[in-house]
A = this chain, B = another copy of it.
Amino acid sequence: MGIKERRERDKAATRQLILDAARDLLVEDGYDKITMRALAERIEYSPTAIYVHFADKDTLLTELSVCDFLEFTQKLAGSSPPDANPLSRLRFLGGAYIRFAMEHPSQYRHLFMTERELTEEAQAAKPPEDAYALLLGTVQAALDAGELHESWADHPHHVAQTLWSSMHGMVALRMTMPEKVAVPMVPLEDLAPVAMEALITGFRQPRQS
């Protein structure tokens, strides 16, 4: 009874074909060039064929984001040498975060700068949670090792989300700000370490607020 299985395999392959085409379109032409018609043309199907495999465009893009989130999380997870102490690991995480954003701006935009209502399946896969857990765990480890000030011990989420927000803010501002605005933006690769070190220094001191 291999027929049913082969059919499922074929269907999954077509699904993947569509997802890959969508990512190609995203990377090559940018987010708003992802069009059901452009997608269809790329895979040489009619536009409505996609609806056999995905409920609608949003579901498709959500599924794509789940894949890309996985890749993002793996990059973060592999960014630190195994012998690094927690504080260094935080620095490596920050560096990997910024690097991902600079190397894959379209994907970053899709993952972190685009609103999307999650399907239940996408919610179940929860890759953003995994990436955040990685950051939170590293913060926790730094706290446990006494590498951050003990007054933050009860608020690891505050520390983690401050770090995350700062990294995201630097990336997002640079992606959104039109170059014509005459603010002399410091290059990301210069600013990111500055922000990271300033925050680490801040969190090594007693909590003020």
A201 to B118, CA, bound (A): 38
Q: Considering the complex, which residues of chain A in the window 95-130 have a beta carbon less than 8 Å from any beta carbon of chain B?
A: 112-118, 123, 126, 128-129
Convert A178-209 into 0s and 1s, putting 1 for each residue whose CB lies closer than 8 angstroms to a CB of B. Answer: 10111111100011011111111111010111
Identical subunits present? 2
A172 on the interface (CB 8 Å rule)?
A: yes
Tell whether, in the assembled complex, residue B132 and residue A183 are in contact, meaning their CB atoms are under 8 Å apart. Answer: yes
- What residue of chain B has the Cβ atom nearest to residue A172's Cβ? B172
Taking residues whose C-beta sits less than 8 angstroms from the other chain, chain A's interface range is 35 or more
Residues of B within 8 A of A113 (CB): 113, 172, 176
A166 on the interface (CB 8 Å rule)?
A: yes
Pairs A–B under 8 Å by Cβ, sample size 15:
A113-B172, A116-B178, A117-B178, A123-B181, A132-B183, A158-B191, A161-B173, A162-B194, A165-B169, A165-B170, A165-B191, A167-B169, A169-B169, A196-B209, A201-B205
